[in-house]
């Protein structure tokens, strides 16, 4: 069974204080790893897809990286508007639709 574990469960940062969120996964053949952002009362919003170890993707202050066992979401000089829950999900080879999600990391950035 595919498993995704995200850590920490919650992270509180000061504005400008860079940090990383972790997503560890167990899957029998990774097809893709997905990062989503979820604001309170809203649906998850797509951020990145990573397909192979060593791949990196960036969007504004966010950079996602992937190894064979985990992914990191690096947040550089965060702003209060980056506060949200960040969800990680994996898709196994042989499936082009099923995502297994972690429980997320709640990020709070204080001004």
Partner 1 sequence: DAGVIQSPRHEVTEMGQEVTLRCKPISGHNSLFWYRQTMMRGLELLIYFNNNVPIDDSGMPEDRFSAKMPNASFSTLKIQPSEPRDSAVYFCASRLSWEGTDTQYFGPGTRLTVL
Footprint on this chain of partner 1 (rule: CB under 8 A): 31-32, 34, 36, 41-46, 49, 87, 89, 91, 96-99, 101-104
DSSP character at residue 81 = G
- Compute the least distance from the CB of residue 62 to partner 1, in Å: 16
Tokens of 75: 């947040």
Which candidate, 25, 29, 34, places its Cα nearest to that of 5? Answer: 25
The maximal CA–CA distance of the chain, rounded, in angstroms, is 45
- Compute the least distance from the CB of residue 87 to partner 1, in Å: 7
* Rounded-to-integer distance, Cα 95 and Cα 92, Å: 6
**CB closer to partner 1 out of 41 and 111:** 41
- Compute the least distance from the CB of residue 36 to partner 1, in Å: 8
**CB closer to partner 1 out of 15 and 45:** 45
**CB closer to partner 1 out of 45 and 58:** 45
The tally of CA atoms less than 13 A away on the side-chain side of residue 31 is: 11
**Helical (H) or strand (E) element with 2:** none
- Compute the least distance from the CB of residue 28 to partner 1, in Å: 17
**CB closer to partner 1 out of 35 and 78:** 35
């Amino acid at each position: 069974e595919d498993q995704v574990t995200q850590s920490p469960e919650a992270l509180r940062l000061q504005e400008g204080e860079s940090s990383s969120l972790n997503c560890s996964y167990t899957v029998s053949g990774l097809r893709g790893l997905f990062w989503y952002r979820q604001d309170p009362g809203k649906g998850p919003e797509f951020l990145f897809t990573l397909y192979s170890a060593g791949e990196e993707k960036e969007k504004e202050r966010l950079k996602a990286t992937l190894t064979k066992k985990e992914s990191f979401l690096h947040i550089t000089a965060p702003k209060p508007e980056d506060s949200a829950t960040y969800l990680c999900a994996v898709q196994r080879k042989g499936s082009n639709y099923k995502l297994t999600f972690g429980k997320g990391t709640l990020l709070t950035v204080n001004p």
